[in-house]
Amino acid sequence: MKMFSSALISVVVLVVFSAGFAFAQPTAKALVDDACSKCHGIKKVYSANKNAAEWGITLDGMIKKGAKIKTEERDAVLKYLNTLNK
């Protein structure tokens, strides 16, 4: 019975964390689509071939230029950008 309980708890934890990631991705995509398309075509973002460090530099530069990404949204946006072009 203990083994079953442990397995059940593990599955529940996995589902909860997976759901959080699944919900974060569309939110980050919407932020990217909205913030980045204000100044240039969104194709520029989706066709860029950048590694994690380059995305970080680019994102910080765009925020300094006025991209409407809140401090608390930055990590989710950066995580999303790093999934592009893989």
CA distance 47 to 25: 18
- Residue showing tokens 């946006």: 77
* Degrees to nearest 5, angle at CA 38 with 34 and 44: 85
For the whole model, what pTM was predicted? 0.68
Please report which confidence band the pLDDT of residue 85 belongs to, taking 50, 70 and 90 as the band edges: confident
Query: How many other C-beta atoms lie within 10 A of the C-beta of residue 31?
Result: 19
Residues 1-59: tens digit of each pLDDT = 655 555 446 544 444 444 444 444 669 999 999 999 999 999 999 999 999 999 999 99
Instruction: Please report the pLDDT score of residue 44 as a whole number.
Output: 93
